[in-house]
């Protein structure tokens, strides 16, 4: 049996999000950075995906995503 790896796995950083308490109408920015470009990122809040909520703004570059 032979195993050939053609692509380096994505590295996961050691930065963790911290609990943040905000006031209403205050902007908070979360950033996710990858070692290589990635196509899709799922942002999870309280166990459910927040991708279609109008109260969030999603921006990104090939290897960075912002919420």
User: What is the distance between the alpha carbons of residues 15 and 50, in angstroms, rounded to a whole number?
Assistant: 21
Residue 63 · residue 36 · CB < 8 Å? yes
What length is written for the chain?
67
User: What is the distance between the alpha carbons of residues 49 and 57, in angstroms, rounded to a whole number?
Assistant: 14
Report pTM: 0.46
What pLDDT, in 10s, does the model give residues 7-55? 666 665 556 666 667 777 777 777 777 777 777 777 777 777 776 667 7
What is the domain partition of the chain in residue ranges?
Answer: 1-67
What pLDDT, in 10s, does the model give residues 50-67? 766 677 777 777 777 776
- For residue 52, which of 67, 62, 32 has the smallest C-alpha distance? 67
3-state secondary structure of 21: coil
């Amino acid at each position: 049996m032979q195993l050939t790896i053609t692509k380096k796995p994505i590295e996961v950083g050691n930065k963790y999000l911290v609990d943040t308490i905000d006031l209403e109408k205050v902007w908070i920015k979360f950033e996710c950075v990858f070692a290589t470009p990635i196509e899709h990122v799922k942002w999870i809040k309280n166990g459910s995906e927040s991708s279609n909520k109008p109260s969030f703004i999603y921006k990104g570059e090939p290897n960075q995503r912002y919420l």
